[in-house]
Amino acid sequence: MSQSIVELKNVNIYQGDSLILSDVNISVNKGEFVYLVGKTGTGKSSLLKTMYGDLQLTEGDGWVAGHELKKLNWKTVPFLRRNLGVVFQDFQLLTDRNVNENMKFVLNATGWKDEKLMDEKIADVLEKVGLKTKGFKMPFELSGGEQQRMDVARALLNSPKLILADEPTGNLDPETSDEIMQLLFHICRDYNTTIIMATHDYMVIKKFPARTIKTEMGKVWDNATIEMS
């Protein structure tokens, strides 16, 4: 168990009473980059939600970043999420606060107290994503690519072992998309952070190849080959 960050064994994933994915067996190691692909409605989001504790696991066994998914409840989910970073397609930034204040909001919400340490951490993550000089900018003053970098920076604040990225290049042009992919691979490689990225963009996978997991027909297929349409 020591090297795996995500371990799912004989897992069934439900949305309400509907079985979405059955007999899921996945192991993802520390420092690995993995794509999650599949048509809309095949269970990609449900799988991610199970990993970050948004959907309760009731059947099968699962561990994410050392937390047993079956034992999670509203009290313990925040502890799991402190070990995770989540990057969204639509950024989910606080539009009425500048970049630094967006970062500080997350740190406050995850229990940080020391102002000096918070300022140091914010400067550190902004430098990692190439936004060192943008801390006092409002989100609307940033380009789409910069907003996505900001979202990645926010995901890095608690030095997560695992980043779950849901379509992080979905709204970006190809050039900006490449920049974000280079950034994610750099974080994975240089900080040994596991990244699981859901995507529809097969051109991205072609340019930046990595292990691919596919949801299809209620099942999860590991090391899936992608049909380039």
Domains and CATH numbers, the chain: 4-221 (3.40.50.300)
- Owner of token pair 């003053």: 141
Banded model confidence at residue 7, pLDDT cuts 50, 70, 90: very high
Mapped onto helix, strand or coil, the DSSP state of residue 93 is: coil
- For residue 2, pLDDT over 80 is answered with no
Q: Which two tokens stand for residue 101?
A: 């204040």
Say if residue 8 is exposed, middle or buried (CB neighbours under 10 Å; 0-12, 13-18, 19+). Answer: buried
- For residue 228, pLDDT over 70 is answered with no
Q: What pLDDT is attached to residue 47?
A: 94
* Separation CA 172–CA 111 (nearest Å): 33
Quote the pTM value.
0.90
Q: Are 155 and 163 in contact (CB under 8 A)?
A: yes
Bridge partners for 211 per DSSP:
34
Bridge partners for 227 per DSSP:
none
94-103: pLDDT as tens digits: 999 999 999 9
Q: Which two tokens stand for residue 43?
A: 């269970």
- For residue 227, pLDDT over 70 is answered with no
Output the CA–CA distances (angstroms, integers) from residue 11 to 26, 85, 146, in the order listed: 9, 23, 37
Closest alpha carbon to 164 in 97, 99, 80: 80
152-194: pLDDT as tens digits: 999 999 889 999 998 888 888 899 999 999 999 999 999 999 9
* Separation CA 178–CA 104 (nearest Å): 28
Banded model confidence at residue 142, pLDDT cuts 50, 70, 90: very high
Beta strand 219-221 pairing with 211-216: antiparallel
Closest alpha carbon to 150 in 191, 93, 104: 93
